[in-house]
């Protein structure tokens, strides 16, 4: 999601994000982390994305690390690109080396490629490690539990989460990782521009809830435009132990716009609430969150819109029990 979002406005027009909907019929979508089928012709376009967002903490503070591995195919030609961001409490956003186009790398479309800057071993569903010696970091994620899957015209979008740890220098952070898998048949945002996909924008929250060492998850988005058939207008989940408290229907969602970005305003606060249907003879579970956005990092600003990441800090309430929440926001306006 991250890398493609930053390319949306570079050509003034919105281009497809990592989880854009496919408008054309395509082959059966693969399961999360699975390779697609063989190419049907030399002119086929196809795209895969694995997005990981870690949020956690140690005794000294909190951290956010997001890593987006994008692969595309145009006929027999293959492309790959990394996008990553890192925020450390007390230091803010840190520049990472080794991201961008992986031209000249031995690209394997079916799996996440490794480079000298980012060595990737394992898979999302079996457990994955992303090690970056030049940046002094290593993410180790336990097998991802897929909590929501959707398909549209051959495209597939899965979201999930798991326990994870991030080693950064001599520090080790415990926390949670949110995961998104996207497969697009007949599209490849790495080589082609697509327009009119976002409508009124994208607002995504990827956070851990409670204490980092024993945390639960919060993953939520509101998306507009032609993304809706695939990813949904509203989608996401909170967890409570082994329970997945999925967003259902249309939750109450409010954006407080506080910061002027040009002829638009960046959000300063997100609030949402929904009820999870209960089993027979039980009461529904009420879920709500209230997070403020801080330390925004503007990735693209072209006066009438923009793409940014920010830190979210606030709370999640489940059946009246409130706990702290902390993580990343991805914003497309």
pLDDT given at position 205? 99
pLDDT given at position 27? 39
Q: Is the dihedral of CA 294, 55, 86, 299 positive or negative?
A: negative
pLDDT given at position 259? 64
SS3 sequence of 283-330: CCEEEEEEEEEEEEEEEEECCCCEEEEEEEEEEEEECCEEEEEEEEEE
pLDDT given at position 5? 59
Tokens for 263, please give them: 């002829």
User: What are the boundaries of each domain within the chain?
Assistant: 2-332
Q: Is the dihedral of CA 35, 18, 67, 144 positive or negative?
A: negative
Instruction: Extract the residue ranges of the chain whose pLDDT is less than 70.
Output: 1-43, 104-108, 195, 197, 259-262, 280-282
- Long-range (24+ apart) CB contacts under 8 A made by 266-273 are 266/293, 266/296, 266/298, 266/306, 266/308, 266/310, 266/331, 266/333, 267/203, 267/293, 267/329, 267/331, 268/292, 268/293, 269/293, 270/203, 270/205, 270/220, 270/312, 270/329, 272/220
Tokens for 185, please give them: 């048949």
From CA 185, how far away is CA 90, in angstroms rounded?
Answer: 42
Question: Which pTM does this prediction carry?
Answer: 0.89
pLDDT given at position 36? 52
């Amino acid at each position: 999601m991250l890398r493609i979002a930053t390319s949306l406005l570079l050509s003034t027009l919105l281009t497809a994000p990592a989880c854009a909907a496919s408008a054309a019929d395509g082959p059966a979508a693969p399961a999360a982390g699975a390779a697609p089928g063989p190419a049907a012709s030399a002119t086929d376009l196809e795209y895969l994305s694995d997005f990981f967002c870690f949020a956690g903490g140690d005794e000294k503070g909190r951290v956010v690390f997001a890593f987006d591995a994008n692969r595309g195919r145009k006929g027999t030609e293959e492309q790959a690109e990394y996008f990553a961001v890192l925020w450390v409490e007390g230091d803010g956003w840190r520049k990472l080396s080794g991201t961008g186009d992986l031209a000249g790398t031995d690209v394997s479309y079916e799996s996440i490629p490794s480079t000298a800057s980012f060595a990737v071993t394992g898979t999302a569903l079996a457990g994955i490690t992303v090690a970056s010696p030049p940046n002094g970091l290593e993410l180790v994620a336990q097998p991802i539990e897929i909590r929501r899957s959707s398909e549209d015209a051959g495209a597939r979008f899965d979201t999930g989460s798991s326990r994870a740890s991030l080693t950064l220098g001599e520090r080790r952070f415990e926390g949670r990782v949110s995961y998104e898998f996207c497969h697009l048949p007949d599209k490849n945002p790495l080589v082609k521009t697509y327009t009119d996909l976002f409508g009124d924008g994208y607002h995504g929250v990827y956070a851990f809830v409670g204490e980092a060492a024993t945390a639960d998850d919060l993953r939520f988005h509101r998306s507009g435009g032609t993304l809706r058939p695939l990813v949904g207008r509203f989608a996401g989940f909170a967890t409570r132990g082994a329970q997945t408290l999925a967003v259902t229907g249309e939750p109450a969602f409010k954006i407080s716009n506080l910061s002027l970005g040009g002829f638009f305003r960046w959000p300063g606060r997100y609030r949402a609430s929904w009820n999870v249907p209960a089993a027979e003879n039980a009461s529904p579970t009420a879920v709500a969150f209230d997070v403020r956005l801080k330390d925004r990092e503007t990735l693209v600003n072209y006066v009438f819109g923009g793409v940014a990441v920010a830190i979210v800090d606030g709370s999640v309430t489940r059946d009246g029990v409130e706990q702290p929440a902390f993580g990343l926001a991805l914003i497309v306006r």
